[in-house]
Structure 1
Amino acid sequence: MKSFLEIYDFGTQTSRTVWQTPDHVEAPNWSPDGSFLVFNGSGLIYRLDLSEDAQPVRIDTGFATGCNNDHGISPDGLLLVISDKTETGKSCIYTLPIDGGTPQRVTEEVPSWWHGWSPDGSRHAYTAVRDGTFMICTCAVDGGNEIQVVGGGGHYDGPDYTPDGQWIWFNSDREGGMQLWRVRPDGSDLQKMTDDERVNWFPHPSPDGKQVLYLAYEEGTEGHPADREVELRLMPAEGGAPRTLISLFGGQGTINVPCWSPDSGSIAYVRYART
């Protein structure tokens, strides 16, 4: 499958391909200083500097060679967080230096899939399954102190903090269709933020706090599959009508994790070739 790593610029309202490969890659993160992207492919993590003609370089993740597409960079740019199953058999969260090194285990229980870092750098937000139940949890950056924020019947996924740390956005089918929600980090004030015919996943608040980017599947889609006609949509952070930013062939792997540039002027995403 041919993958196109792309950047959409809000100023020019255009996309450009910064790298392409005949292989399958997923889920770009943007570094806090804006100079590089991080993404995964075939269980490994790569860095792509955003300089002319740069090529991806593998980040040494030690024993962790079964990384999925749930990874990110700490707000200070010093740490990489990954979700990997090599050691535990199910997705487990680890941190390591951004330039590579030995992963340090964060979550005691598995499966756990990382999705968001609190803006003060103190906590992780992640999807977890405990005793067969999906939930959104947080824990201290170095592990322990797991707190269930919200959970129950249905699927819960994609938690990401707002830049002021006051909300965690996520997607859930707790009322039937997969829609976007937000909740306070202490589990209070749960609010449904979309309610339409689309199947909505992976909300990402912009660093300036004004907008939320998300992935919208066609009505009736089950789960979050790859190789689908999808839309990247944008909505006001306080709620309101969304607008379609880009229509593309993608889905799983397109924007699973935070993907805004630090100045809120661009987003990074993966588009796939139609076969």
Structure 2
Amino acid sequence: MDRTEDTEDTGMRPRTAEAGRRTAVWIASVDSDEPQLLFATAELLLEAPNWSHDGRSLLLNGAGRLWRLDVGTPSGLVEIPLDGVPDINNDHVLSPDGRTVYVSGMDGHLYAAPAAGGKGVRLTADDGTLHFLHGVSPDGRTLAYVEIARGVAGSPGRLALMPAAGGPGKAVDTGEGHLDGPEYSPDGEWIYCNTETFTEAPGHAQIARLPAAGSVLRRVHTSDTVDWFPHLSPDGVHAAYVSFPPGTLGHPANLDVTVRLVRTDAWAVPVRTFPLFGGQGTMNVNSWSPDSRRFAFVSYPLDGRAG
């Protein structure tokens, strides 16, 4: 999600591939410093992998549509048809049972559709806000998303929760700073996010969490970098997130960033780091494999550049 995309009638449009730049989809392991290049293309700008429930494929968005990429033999992309759903952005998640995909439309609404493809259903009402999905509770009943006032340039993101079946959303008070990337911990006890609440420096997002039942938002790591999108592994042992350079505003595209792998009991000490050229689209949503041993991310290198 990018606040700069909020214009008349949302004004949001799918990102497109740039001349001379590739999309590279990578698989990283908790046991290796060297990620595996799974797939690369200059034809389509892909973003934000989800790992499928059966461990066999990744789901990515590109050109406003949803695509499946096989992990074992990645010969090409297969579109997942989402009937009745507008162009989508890079905020999409799978239900805990893997049967449903929840997506954020370019119209600012949330939709649910069969993960294998089929007819989508709009979940959100016309409540004066844009809705950007990031998390679903482990019991599958609740969606965690970011709401932003429609038509108000620079309006900060706020945490909100709603029934996964649809219905009114409820805002959660987390302070004045912009909040993004809310995602449940595997045990359902916490919501992790990034927030600008803890600093007066413009855009200085930091990783934080709050009890899923509500209460005070607390920082889990203090750093000089601008840190976005914490994603916990299914076993809760590791987390991965994206670090932008100090002074970055928002989470823009086309920057030298670092994907950091940490243990959730030691956020300050990276287990592994993966520098790459990317940012927006690299890892906006949870991309962990079901066995908690691997996770996926995307880079956007110039032709001839490795990552």
TM-score per shorter chain, which class?
over 0.9
Letter in 2 for 1:173: E
1:27 to 24, 48, 52: 48
Q: For 1:228 and 1:149, how far apart are their aligned partners in 2? A: 32
Q: For 1:16 and 1:240, how far apart are their aligned partners in 2? A: 24
- For 1:105, the equivalent position in structure 2 comes to 122
Q: For 2:257 and 2:71, how far apart are their aligned partners in 1? A: 26
- What is the CA-CA distance between 1:145 and the residue it aligns to? 4.2
- What is the CA-CA distance between 1:66 and the residue it aligns to? 1.6
Q: For 1:20 and 1:157, how far apart are their aligned partners in 2? A: 28
Is the deviation greater in 234-243 or in 47-56? 234-243
Q: For 2:74 and 2:100, how far apart are their aligned partners in 1? A: 26
Q: For 2:117 and 2:276, how far apart are their aligned partners in 1? A: 33
- For 2:34, the equivalent position in structure 1 comes to 14
2:245 to 215, 218, 223: 218
Letter in 2 for 1:220: G
Q: Is the 1:178–1:201 contact (alpha carbons within 8 Å) kept by the matching residues of 2?
A: yes
TM-score by length of 2: 0.84
- For 1:181, the equivalent position in structure 2 comes to 208
Q: Secondary structure of the residue that 1:188 maps to in structure 2?
A: coil
Letter in 1 for 2:51: W
- For 1:146, the equivalent position in structure 2 comes to 169
- What is the CA-CA distance between 1:70 and the residue it aligns to? 0.2
Q: For 1:10 and 1:178, how far apart are their aligned partners in 2? A: 25
Q: For 2:74 and 2:55, how far apart are their aligned partners in 1? A: 17
- For 1:37, the equivalent position in structure 2 comes to 58
Q: For 1:5 and 1:212, how far apart are their aligned partners in 2? A: 19
Q: For 1:53 and 1:73, how far apart are their aligned partners in 2? A: 21
Q: Is the 2:225–2:243 contact (alpha carbons within 8 Å) kept by the matching residues of 1?
A: yes
The question of 1:64 aligning with 2:85 is answered yes
Q: Is the 2:135–2:143 contact (alpha carbons within 8 Å) kept by the matching residues of 1?
A: yes
CA RMSD of aligned residues (A): 1.7
Q: Is the 2:190–2:212 contact (alpha carbons within 8 Å) kept by the matching residues of 1?
A: yes
1:207-243 alpha-carbon deviations (Å, 9 max, x no partner): 1111221100111111100111101112332454131
Q: For 2:242 and 2:32, how far apart are their aligned partners in 1? A: 21
Q: For 2:295 and 2:78, how far apart are their aligned partners in 1? A: 21
Q: For 1:149 and 1:188, how far apart are their aligned partners in 2? A: 9
- For 1:271, the equivalent position in structure 2 comes to 299
Q: For 1:237 and 1:189, how far apart are their aligned partners in 2? A: 19
Letter in 1 for 2:145: Y
TM-score by length of 1: 0.93
Q: 1:150 to 1:31 in 2, by over 3 A?
A: farther
Identity of aligned residues (%): 37
Q: For 2:184 and 2:234, how far apart are their aligned partners in 1? A: 10
How many residue pairs were aligned? Answer: 271
- What is the CA-CA distance between 1:272 and the residue it aligns to? 1.0
Letter in 2 for 1:171: N
1:91-120 alpha-carbon deviations (Å, 9 max, x no partner): 211000111112111122330001011111
- For 1:163, the equivalent position in structure 2 comes to 186
Q: For 1:129 and 1:200, how far apart are their aligned partners in 2? A: 20
Q: For 1:236 and 1:149, how far apart are their aligned partners in 2? A: 27
Is the deviation greater in 93-102 or in 140-149? 140-149
Q: Is the 2:189–2:213 contact (alpha carbons within 8 Å) kept by the matching residues of 1?
A: no
- Contiguous gaps of at least 5 residues in structure 2: 1-20
- For 2:10, the equivalent position in structure 1 comes to none
- For 2:94, the equivalent position in structure 1 comes to 73
- What is the CA-CA distance between 1:135 and the residue it aligns to? 0.8
- For 1:259, the equivalent position in structure 2 comes to 287
The question of 1:2 aligning with 2:7 is answered no
